[in-house]
Structure 1
Amino acid sequence: MPDSRLPDARQILAAIPSPAILVGAADEVIGANGAALALFPRLRLGEPLWAGVRAPGILAATTAARGGGARAVEHIERVPVERHYAVQATAVPDAEGQVLLLFRDRTSELAAERMRTDFVANASHELRTPLASLIGFIETLQGAARNDANAREKFLGVMGDQARRMARLIDDLLSLSRIEMSRHLPPSTPVAIDGVVREAVDGLRMVAMDRGARLEASIAGGPWTVAGDRDELYRVIENLAENALKYGREGGRAEILVRPSAQPLGEGRAVEIVVRDDGVGIAPQHLPRLTERFYRADVRESRQKGGTGLGLALVKHIVGRHRGRLDIASELGKGSTFTVTLPLLP
């Protein structure tokens, strides 16, 4: 006699969070949970599986599973957005001809794999370029320019620049790796943001002088104290302010504003660090991707200015670790604004 405490098939299907379909011996649908009905809107109980699931691979796996064991197949849904599923078709024991279809969403997993592959390829490319340049200059100095003092001096200067570029890239890669490893551990040390801003402005005086530009800080009220890692927050402000100087107008003005946020972050008050430049601005299509690793709106200009392509990725990850938010706005011909919002300590 069956145990009345055991749930029936419908209850079991309903408890499964991912799409699940129970198929009968005649390929009719005898059960489906809400996730499956959302994925396949044409699916109807009592009707053939093929009427609701227009995927030959899934239908073939269902038939094959009746021969024993389980069958796996990949399925891609392209509407309304592309999603990738691993589908497992398993014969139900002691239920003649019935097959259970389970769908596992692999979209995020595959996207992460693509990101890792792209990251390795991009990092290799970014290192290969200055390395190839170094090798070329070394071979030239060993050959035709061996006894040319002027050429040697010029080439050594370029080689030094390329070596420093590689060092910056490696430093950024190591920093990004370290921050990602600790992203689930929010820092807890009290840090006065106004002090970090003043220190960053002082540290960038020479960069501003080289550009003939002005870097100004305006701090409203304060002190503004957040829970943070001081070195990481310094890096955020330094990176954004240095970019504002590099990509702003020559002889122009970059500014950092520290002010209370008009919108709370979470349940408490927040502070905004706003960094503005007066440069050419960034085209709208580039804005959503600016914080991707190695993404550049202008590859040539970024490299000429010593960029590694990782600066804004570092900023995004540091701000995320501090449970903050990064917003980017830009208008062509008028400049760009980067706003970091951080929760204040009570």
Structure 2
Amino acid sequence: MASADTQSLLDALDEPAMAIDHGVVRHSNAAARELLGVGIDGKDVRLAIRHPQALEHILPGAAGDVEITGIGQFGRPWTLSIRAIDQGMLLIRLIDRSAAIAAEKMRVDFVANASHELRTPLSTILGYAESLADDADLDSEHRAKFGAIIRGEAKRMLRIIEDLMSLSRIEAVRFVTPDDRVSVAEVTASAVENAGRGAQHCSIRLDVEQQLPAVLGDRAQLLQLVDNLLSNAIRYGCEQGECVIRVAASRGDGWIRLSVADNGPGIPREHLRRVTERFYRVDAARSRESGGTGLGLAIVKHIVERHKGTLEILSTVGAGTEVLVRLPIAP
């Protein structure tokens, strides 16, 4: 293969790649030079790649793939791909596996968390159900109490399952851009009306700009988004005597700006970057007591991403929390 052809092949690859000829780096692409150093061309491969495990496979010249870690950055995982491309010349590619490993870890963690979240109420249900079944002399007051606990824990499991199903439905269409014209003003008003029935200890104030333009969206998902934000504000932001939740929608430069703010206890800064993770709770005990599933903001995040919008959470401990969503205006 001609030298120019080899360089063109390497330049067409996104991942770090090199052509090795009898143990010497003859050509490299920009990604390889960024990872290993700008002066690797013309060097012995043992100086370019200072990684014993990688060299064990490169120097013999046998084609194959091997999983290695630590090239360029401690602990960074790679697939080292070795292929013969000409007489005595090898194509070396380093395929970054960081995203795949992170995704797999997220999947494993999600399954573990979901199992834990369902196991807790199920254990409670089984315990009280066994008491009801085994103790024939249990008085009516205790029977009613145990029955209420079982009903409450079963509802909690149902909410978790419903939220998990919502996440699955949203993820199933995450690459399908919604194309219905949706009125944010109408969706917001409906969500506030729904929330008002359960917001007995707080005041909800709605401030929507007149004649807001439509957004391209999925009305059911956008309603769920606002419902979840209001539920969170009511559940966690209504602990003080003068509880006020402010819901606002206005037009910006190419965006509809939707915000839900409360004057509750706020969220410590160290938790802000993680509150949209599935099952993450700032205060796990309080969340479970108030009926939270730990999935509300994760659902909000996925809906916003599907609608090509942005999500921002601002909070000050002792002053309250504001969740700001921006959605692009329909053309």
Q: Per the shorter chain, which TM-score range? A: over 0.9
One-letter code aligned to 2:271: H
**In the alignment, which residue of structure 2 is the partner of 1:172?**
163
Query: C-alpha displacement at 1:295, in angstroms?
Result: 1.1
State the Cα distance separating 1:200 from its structure 2 match: 1.3
User: Alignment partner for residue 67 of structure 2, among 31, 51, 73?
Assistant: 73
User: Secondary structure at 1:208's aligned position in 2?
Assistant: coil
Q: Look up the match of 2:27.
A: 31
* Counterpart mapping for 1:262-341 below 5 A: 264=253, 269-341=254-326
State the 1:83 CA deviation: 3.6
DSSP 3-state at the match of 2:197? helix
**Counterpart contact for 1:259–1:271, Cα < 8 Å:** yes
How far off is 1:91 after superposition? Answer: 3.6
Q: Does 1:139 align with 2:116?
A: no
Shift of residue 231, structure 1, vs aligned partner: 1.4
What's the offset of the Cα at 1:223? 3.5
2:283 and 2:152 map into 1 onto residues whose CA distance is 20
SS of residue paired to 2:102: helix
Aligned residue for 2:231, secondary structure, equals: helix
Matched, 1:235 2:231: no
In the alignment, which residue of structure 2 is the partner of 1:124?
Answer: 115
What is the one-letter code of the residue matched to 2:34? Answer: A
CA contact 1:213–1:250 (8 Å) conserved in 2: no
Counterpart of 1:34, as a letter, is A
Q: Does 1:46 align with 2:42?
A: yes
Q: Which residue of 1 aligns with 2:13?
A: 16
| Counterpart position of 1:344 | 329
Residues 186 and 46 of structure 1, relative CA distance in 2, 3 Å threshold: closer
1:115–1:334 distance in 2 versus 1, CA, 3 Å: same
CA distance in 1, matches of 2:206, 2:117: 34
Secondary structure of 1:307's counterpart equals coil
Once residues 120 and 39 of structure 2 are traced to their aligned partners in structure 1, the CA distance between those partners, rounded to angstroms, is 54
Q: Quick one: distance in 2 between partners of 1:180 and 1:245? A: 27
Aligned residue for 2:138, secondary structure, equals coil
2:178 alignment partner in structure 1: 187
Q: Distance in 1 between matches of 2:45 and 2:76?
A: 20
TM-score (norm 1): 0.89
Give the Cα–Cα distance (whole angstroms) in 1 for the partners of residues 320 and 104 of structure 2.
35
Quick one: which amino acid aligns to residue 200 of structure 1?
A
* Structure 1 unmatched runs, 5+: none
Per-residue deviation at 1:205?
Answer: 1.6
> Is residue 244–residue 276 contact of structure 1 (8 Å, CA) maintained in 2?
yes
Query: What letter matches 1:76 in structure 2?
Result: G
What is the number of equivalent residue pairs in this alignment?
A: 329
1:87 is matched with which residue?
Answer: 80
Q: Verify the 8 A CA contact 1:69 1:91 in the aligned structure 2.
A: yes
SS in 1 for 2:277: coil
Is this contact kept in 2: 1:145–1:152, CA < 8 A?
no
Query: CA 1:110–1:148 in structure 2 vs 1: closer, same or farther (change >3 Å)?
Result: same
Letter paired with 1:215: I
Match of 1:161? 152
Displacement of 1:145: 6.4
- C-alpha contact 2:122 2:153 (8 A) present in aligned 1: yes
* Equivalent residue, structure 1, for 2:99: 108
Among the aligned pairs, what percent are the same residue? 36
- Residues 35 and 72 in structure 2, CA contact (< 8 A), matched pair in contact too: no
Deviation at 1:77, TM superposition (A): 4.0
Q: Distance in 1 between matches of 2:85 and 2:104?
A: 33
TM-score, scaled to structure 2:
0.93
Q: Greater shift after overlay, 175-184 or 244-253? A: 244-253
Measure the CA separation in 2 of the matches of 1:14 and 1:286: 42
* TM-superposed deviation, 1:71: 4.4
User: Once the two structures are superposed, what CA deviation does each residue of 1:1-58 show, in whole Å capped at 9, x if it has no partner?
Assistant: x8x8x95322322222211122232x22222111111111165222222222221111
Output the aligned Cα RMSD. 2.0
Please report how far the alpha carbon of residue 294 of structure 1 lies from its aligned counterpart in structure 2 after TM superposition.
1.0
In the other structure, the counterpart of 1:253 is 244
